[in-house]
Structure 1
Amino acid sequence: MRFNLWGLFSSLMLAAALLAIARPVYAFEEPAHNKAFNRIASFPIYLNSHIDQQSVAEIVDVSKDGNTLVYTDGVAGKLGFVDIVNPSRPQALGLIDVEGEPTSVAVADKYALVVVNTSSDFNDPSGKMLVVDIKKRRQVAAFDLGGQPDAIAVSPDQRYAAVVIENERDEDVNGGRLPQGESGFLVIVDLVGKPEQWELRDVQLAGIADLYPEDAEPEYVDINAQNIAVVTFQENNHLALIDLASGAIINHFSAGYVDLFDIDTQEEKPALITLTGEQLHRAREPDGVTWLTEQWFVTADEGDLDGGSRGITVFDKNGHVVYSAGNQLEHEAVRTGHYPDGRSNNHGNEPENVEVGRYGNDTFLFVASERSSVVFVYKVSADGRSFELRQTLPAGLGPEGLKAIPQRKLLVAASENDARAEGYRSVLNIYQLQAKPPAYPTLISADRADGSPIPWGALSGLTHDLYEEHSVYAIHDGFFQQSRIYKLDTRHHLAVISAEIVLVDSLGKLAATAPALVNADGSVNLDAEGISSSANGGFWIASEGAGSDVSANLLVHVDAAGEINEVVTLPDASAAQQQRFGFEGVASVGAGDREVLFVAFQREWRNDPTGYARIGRYDIAAAEWRFYYYPLDKAQSPNGGWVGLSEISALGPDEFAVIERDNQANSDARIKRLYKFSVSGMTALPEPQAGAAPSFPLLDKVLVQDLLPALKASGGMALEKIEGMTVAENGDVLIVNDNDGVEGSNGETQLLRLQGLMHY
């Protein structure tokens, strides 16, 4: 056990500071239930085409035997098929061309009914419904729909299909507001006889909504066992119930309004999550809808023109609200690190779709959150009157389509965002109901004293507490302002952020060096990329700069309460060599006047040899910088990119562990590795003057573990930014990724635990 009196005193100060800042009210316990959905596979959609081709999965359904997924690819104009006979190893079955933009698909008997937008422009809406034999993967019939379709549903008894004809508005006309163009309607398909014998009937929907009645824009449809279709009108904030046998509208009503409290309504740059705002009389503007019972249905209140309740609502057939989620999903997104601050002024997490599945005696309600990139799982009581938010499942970026497959204990989520160059791919995530606890999330936050969860995300560094065995500290990078340190309780599989320390510059130490990083209230905006507990008390933080002419790389010491009391910069001759990539980690060794800091630089600088990154050594007492060279692995990804260091942690006075990674994700990722090296017997050298080429001593590294297998074990795609790492005295290694604050990312945070991997 590492021990000194100053360190013990510092630890006591830290504990007092944490209690003063945030009183943890989250009572942790292992999940009491013995059933949970866990992700078992991710199928990247490009496998049905080519890795370079943009392709998406938006809406998904499954064959009657539960073995073949069918999905719409609106980008490629295709209908895709995936074999899930073995759901943990889905296999590509190919695509068929639908000659237009497929917007939805539903399975009836042995056929996939796909609706296709064939409109040339907004003023001339058109579309068709194709009938595709799933096994043979070929079209057997086609029908003109008379307008631009959005959604389709098939009745449980396979007697009817209902197609929503949206005739969507042009968002560039009149600010995207209604009315404009032709009103939408509903098409009823009588599924009697062979497909070529099916007949179509139209149900006019204009004139019933309170808002823009002359321009109905129906959005989504679902059908119950009584063959009653519920239709959402998102922009009209309306709902209608239609008897499919007669084609009669049997009821319709406004989706209503909600008052939202304790939510984030401001979008800042850098980001800042503040759950203190409110939105009053907010239109629900529902998107997806699903029947929960024969009498009740659930809406995903995404919002569009003027609304969005950021949650879900359960209605009865008379339009009465049975249940409303309020701010629950917003807070759960914050608690799990999935909150999209860039959508705060709009619709927050944006629930896009809902699905119900009855798995044995249990009923689950699933909610796809488009902007948080998760699927929320509710357990519904036997009487349908109680809704327990049970899980938050990681999905691809922008989930929309959901399909429950209860007979196989499966759930599928389709995420439609795809951009290889940006590091994310469209995927079908497959989850299985298992007799085990949830594997995700791996990290959540406790509540503050006011009852709201501690906001967090974009984690970039980890360090162990020197005296509390199961306490770890994390930092976030420059994505968020008001830099802070999080305290993690890691006793259980589900780690908990129990408290936060907001960094402040009351002494003016940072203001004297980098005044632009200090806010008016004394908080600071560091680009913190590394953190290390100090045996002399408090923490050292490595803040990455963008270059000497923009912002400096800094080593910042903070005490137990978050006060900055020392700031260290590089020598001018060293700072002048930076090209872009700066400090990525810091490790403190020694105590008293013998404390020395080791700093990982992400990539080579101007006069450094190609493929050599610096390891800096800063002697605090002597105020002296010296350097080593660390040899980086060569880039191996088929998508190119670079390789660099992301973290450093001390294993002893002369031995260190580092994370080395490429900047690639998903199936393009190749290098996510844990190495160690020793500086024993080596003498670091100072920066040469006048821009001369350095000749720092070259370190010899040893591979400890390839991290890709551990990353893929979660059933998801490989994450890019593996950035935080710390090693406990018993050799356990904790590793965490930076989720980019859910911007251009699915927001997934994996806290990996590698037991007994290293020893001091």
Structure 2
Amino acid sequence: MRRFLLFALSLTIGITSCKKDKTPGEEPDFFVNEDAATFAEIGTIDIGETGAAEISAYDPETKKLFVVKNENEGLPNQVNRIEVIDFKNPSAMTVISDIGMEPFGGAVNSLTVHSGKLAAAIQAGDKTANGKIVVFKTSDHSVISQVTVGALPDMVTFSPDGKYIMSANEGEPNATYTIDPEGSVSIISVNENYAVTTVNFSSMASQQNALMQKGFRIFGPNSTFVKDIEPEYITISSDSKTAWVTLQENNGIAKIDIPSKTISNIFPLGFKDYSLDGTEIDPTDDNKAYAAAKWPVKGIYMPDAIAVLESNGIPYLFTANEGDAREYDTFVEVKRVKDKTITLDPTKFPDWAELKKDGKLGRLNITTTLGDIDGDGDLDELYSLGARSFSVWNGSNGSLVFDSKNELDKKTVEAETYDDGRSDDKSVEPEGIAIGTVGNKKVAFVGMERADAVAVYDLTNPASPVFLKLLKCGDAPEGLLFIPAKDSPTKKSLLVVSSEGDGVVKVYTPKTIG
């Protein structure tokens, strides 16, 4: 985002400019004394139906908000475009234009803005074919460049310095699993006429067995290491030299060296034990109420969104541990514990008959790809998808620093936004995460798809986040966009939440102090 000089202002309550020691030519920071625990809704706009408001991006130069709009997929009245919203007054947003995707491919999956440029990730009409990143001017929406990337570009982001655009190309298979494209990451050099390098994971293939022993998953039908990996979401270090990419279905995070355009590491994330204190879950949807207890089940973290916060030389990676099952016409990995084809090892589960009842673990959805430790056809361990939490990982070595355990469940129960109908699956489904500075605090926002809410956390100590508040939002929040006060049209911090379930975009802001 661009920085700018703040000239002398009339005194305004809670808003001041301040100078820090800086190198010659560096501009002063803009500071607003805000209370992160006081975020409240100030604006809302409905741009359509299901799929109509998945991701948003904001341009401070034109004060426009760009929002993905995909509707009626596969139907004659299919809609794939970017809605352009006048964001000068977030309390009274209006749609002023749109950018159609027809000339470029199919659905638009993600957006990012930097210095008057809007980059869009657009999948091909056939999602197994290579997609595109198209760059537009935010001023008049004309095309600056379009480049081919890997199959199904699902997320796109600018590096902080604006020199690179990166896309996570998920490479999902077709419905019959007869075509499974390589998962990849594309690195686009903005200053080199948008030259693109698309990197697959072949350089790490020799480590497959070692990675899988630590919880990494390679499990698709007739899969190869390169084709089975599905990149989901990217975050980039403040110096624009390192990227971390969630590999959701595979339960890992890849580390990428941007200047050399190489994958330097993959961190397997392992599993979460729901039989421990503080990790209790409610595994059934037939009790009509939240009833957490310890169970002999493990969660597979499988993060969706990721964000980095650097502190004292440590890159802390924050992940929203949603979980995501592979469910295709010819391959479905999940079954309920009570399914007649699921046999529990009687030695490991002496009470197996009781566990398979509906009021116990019977309705819990588990993966059939893990758990048969000795290869005798029955399950020695049970693994459910997702971790019902957000986590913090050390970005240097991949070690787990913090997990919110079952706090998200508890906070949504208290706020009466918990959906018990999802207890048997992935619970609140943490999906989106964003980090920003509010006043003098670093703050995380965690969006929960099935609770229709966003949790706000104080990151004063990034290794020990502290819950501040729960914000109710639209149906199935997907995109969380934090706009810092210096770039905001209101000169106050803003949180923009885009919800794909109902096409609603909501805006929140905190109170100032003083």
Q: Work out which of the residue numbers 154, 159, 164 in structure 2 matches 1:160.
A: 164
Instruction: Give secondary structure in 1 for the equivalent of 2:408.
Output: helix
- Could you tell me which residue of structure 1 aligns to residue 509 of structure 2? 432
Distance 2:300 2:512 in 1: 40
1:297 and 2:301 correspond:
no
Q: Work out which of the residue numbers 215, 231, 243 in structure 2 matches 1:218.
A: 231
Contact 2:50 2:501 in 1 (8 A): no
- Could you tell me which residue of structure 1 aligns to residue 494 of structure 2? 410
Q: Deviation of residue 66 (structure 1)?
A: 7.6
Q: Work out which of the residue numbers 111, 120, 129 in structure 1 matches 2:117.
A: 111
Q: Deviation of residue 173 (structure 1)?
A: 4.1
Partner amino acid, structure 2, of 1:67: K
Distance 1:259 1:183 in 2: 32
- Could you tell me which residue of structure 2 aligns to residue 308 of structure 1? 386
Partner amino acid, structure 1, of 2:135: V
1:374 and 2:453 correspond:
yes
Distance 1:309 1:279 in 2: 14
Distance 1:65 1:388 in 2: 34
Contact 1:265 1:277 in 2 (8 A): no
Distance 1:325 1:263 in 2: 13
Q: Quick one: higher RCO (CA 8 Å, sep 6+), 1 or 2?
A: 2
Partner amino acid, structure 2, of 1:92: V
Instruction: Give secondary structure in 2 for the equivalent of 1:43.
Output: strand
Q: Deviations over 1:183-226 (max 9, x none)?
A: 20100000106xxx210011112425532134111111111113
Percent of aligned pairs sharing the same letter:
28
- Could you tell me which residue of structure 1 aligns to residue 126 of structure 2? 120
Distance 1:54 1:354 in 2: 21
Q: Deviation of residue 279 (structure 1)?
A: 5.7
1:319 and 2:337 correspond:
no
Partner amino acid, structure 2, of 1:129: I
Q: Work out which of the residue numbers 387, 390, 414 in structure 1 matches 2:465.
A: 387
Matches within 5 A, 1:74-93: 74-75=70-71, 76-93=79-96
Contact 1:45 1:55 in 2 (8 A): no
Q: Deviation of residue 120 (structure 1)?
A: 1.9
Distance 2:156 2:181 in 1: 20
Evaluate the alpha carbon distance shift between residue 278 and residue 434 of structure 1 in structure 2; reply closer, same or farther with a 3 A threshold: farther
Instruction: Give secondary structure in 2 for the equivalent of 1:77.
Output: strand
| Gapped regions of structure 2 (runs ≥ 5) | 1-34, 72-78, 219-224, 326-366, 368-384
Contact 2:166 2:185 in 1 (8 A): yes
Distance 2:507 2:428 in 1: 22
Distance 1:35 1:283 in 2: 31
Instruction: Give secondary structure in 2 for the equivalent of 1:337.
Output: coil
Distance 1:233 1:54 in 2: 25
Instruction: Give secondary structure in 2 for the equivalent of 1:56.
Output: coil
Evaluate the alpha carbon distance shift between residue 241 and residue 66 of structure 1 in structure 2; reply closer, same or farther with a 3 A threshold: farther
Partner amino acid, structure 2, of 1:415: S
Q: Deviation of residue 35 (structure 1)?
A: 4.7
- Could you tell me which residue of structure 1 aligns to residue 140 of structure 2? 136
Distance 1:336 1:257 in 2: 28
Q: Deviation of residue 372 (structure 1)?
A: 0.3
1:62 and 2:146 correspond:
no
Distance 1:222 1:34 in 2: 23
Distance 2:179 2:284 in 1: 31
Q: Deviation of residue 392 (structure 1)?
A: 0.5
Evaluate the alpha carbon distance shift between residue 66 and residue 386 of structure 1 in structure 2; reply closer, same or farther with a 3 A threshold: farther
1:341 and 2:420 correspond:
yes
Q: Deviation of residue 415 (structure 1)?
A: 0.2
Q: Deviation of residue 54 (structure 1)?
A: 6.3
Distance 2:50 2:454 in 1: 24
Distance 1:147 1:387 in 2: 36
Contact 2:36 2:438 in 1 (8 A): no
Q: Deviation of residue 180 (structure 1)?
A: 6.3
Contact 2:82 2:98 in 1 (8 A): yes
Q: Deviation of residue 137 (structure 1)?
A: 2.2
1:38 and 2:11 correspond:
no
Q: Deviation of residue 277 (structure 1)?
A: 5.0
Evaluate the alpha carbon distance shift between residue 346 and residue 277 of structure 1 in structure 2; reply closer, same or farther with a 3 A threshold: farther
Distance 1:114 1:259 in 2: 39
Instruction: Give secondary structure in 1 for the equivalent of 2:288.
Output: coil
Contact 1:300 1:311 in 2 (8 A): yes
1:239 and 2:253 correspond:
yes
Partner amino acid, structure 2, of 1:87: P
Contact 1:161 1:189 in 2 (8 A): yes
Distance 2:61 2:233 in 1: 25
Q: Deviations over 1:603-632 (max 9, x none)?
A: xxxxxxxxxxxxxxxxxxxxxxxxxxxxxx
Distance 1:278 1:37 in 2: 36
Q: Deviation of residue 251 (structure 1)?
A: 2.1
- Could you tell me which residue of structure 1 aligns to residue 265 of structure 2? 251
Across the two proteins, how many residue pairs are aligned to each other?
380
Q: Deviations over 1:82-103 (max 9, x none)?
A: 1111111112122110121001
- Could you tell me which residue of structure 2 aligns to residue 455 of structure 1? none
- Could you tell me which residue of structure 1 aligns to residue 378 of structure 2? none
Evaluate the alpha carbon distance shift between residue 358 and residue 235 of structure 1 in structure 2; reply closer, same or farther with a 3 A threshold: same
Normalising by the residue count of structure 1, what TM-score does the alignment of the two structures yield?
A: 0.48
- Could you tell me which residue of structure 2 aligns to residue 594 of structure 1? none
- Could you tell me which residue of structure 2 aligns to residue 472 of structure 1? none
Partner amino acid, structure 2, of 1:72: V
Distance 1:248 1:143 in 2: 20
Distance 2:199 2:243 in 1: 12
Q: Deviations over 1:134-154 (max 9, x none)?
A: 111232321121422111111
Distance 2:50 2:433 in 1: 26
Q: Deviations over 1:528-563 (max 9, x none)?
A: xxxxxxxxxxxxxxxxxxxxxxxxxxxxxxxxxxxx
Distance 1:167 1:187 in 2: 12
Contact 2:409 2:428 in 1 (8 A): yes
Evaluate the alpha carbon distance shift between residue 314 and residue 55 of structure 1 in structure 2; reply closer, same or farther with a 3 A threshold: closer
Instruction: Give secondary structure in 2 for the equivalent of 1:181.
Output: coil
Q: Work out which of the residue numbers 56, 71, 74 in structure 1 matches 2:67.
A: 71
Normalising by the residue count of structure 2, what TM-score does the alignment of the two structures yield?
A: 0.70
Q: Deviation of residue 397 (structure 1)?
A: 0.1
Distance 2:450 2:413 in 1: 12
Q: Deviation of residue 380 (structure 1)?
A: 0.9
Evaluate the alpha carbon distance shift between residue 180 and residue 311 of structure 1 in structure 2; reply closer, same or farther with a 3 A threshold: farther
Q: Work out which of the residue numbers 198, 202, 212 in structure 1 matches 2:198.
A: 202
Evaluate the alpha carbon distance shift between residue 341 and residue 414 of structure 1 in structure 2; reply closer, same or farther with a 3 A threshold: same
Evaluate the alpha carbon distance shift between residue 87 and residue 314 of structure 1 in structure 2; reply closer, same or farther with a 3 A threshold: same
